[in-house]
Structure formats: C-alpha cells, structure tokens
Amino acid sequence: MEIEFDCFLFSFFSYFNMLAKKTSKNQITLPKAIISHFPDTEYFDVREEDGRIVLVPLRPSRADEVRDKLAQLGLAEADVADAVKWARQS
C-alpha cells in the first residue's frame, strides 16, 4: 500500500511541478500539459502580481472575426468605407 501512495504523490507533484526555462532572448516555452488546456488561445495578457508572472488567455474579439470574414470575402477598407458612405445617404 505504501508503494501505491508514493507513486500517487510522485504523479501528483510532477503534474504541478513543471518547469519553463527563460532563453537568452527572454522567451519562455509553456509546457504542453498546460497549454493543451487553451487550444484556441493565441495571445495571453502578461502581468506581474506579488512577484509572480500571471498569464491570462485572451479570446479573439468579435472585431477579429469580422476582419477575418472581410478578408475571406476579398473586401478592403476602401470597400467598407464606400459601403458606409452609401448607407448614410438619405
């Protein structure tokens, strides 16, 4: 029984005890076991709180979705400006 408990503790603490090394260019690679919980996240808000680095996942905004759709349709900023000008005519 003692061996099973030791294995459980080892597994438990190794899951929460992951390391990330800062490179000479101040880059950090996040462990796959952590980042896999955020599959659609491309950007993180980074801040310092009480001597800790805190990463908060940022979700794409609705504006990004609109920009992507406009790009798929091949519309440029000038096209949107023309459409707004036309819509505002009374």
Residues with Cβ within 8 Å of residue 15, at least 6 apart in sequence: 33
Task: Please say if the pLDDT value at position 15 is more than 70.
Answer: no
Distance CA 31, CA 1 (A): 32
Residue 9's pLDDT band, with cuts at 50, 70 and 90, is very low
Yes or no: say if 20 and 30 are a contact pair by the CB < 8 Å rule. yes
Per-domain residue ranges of the chain? 2-58, 60-90
Residue 80's pLDDT band, with cuts at 50, 70 and 90, is confident
- β strands within 12-66, DSSP E: 43-49, 52-58
How many Cα neighbours within 13 Å face the side chain of 63? Answer: 0
Which architecture, in CATH terms, is 2-58? Ribbon (2.10)
pLDDT in tens, 35-71: 999 988 888 989 999 999 999 998 777 787 788 888 8
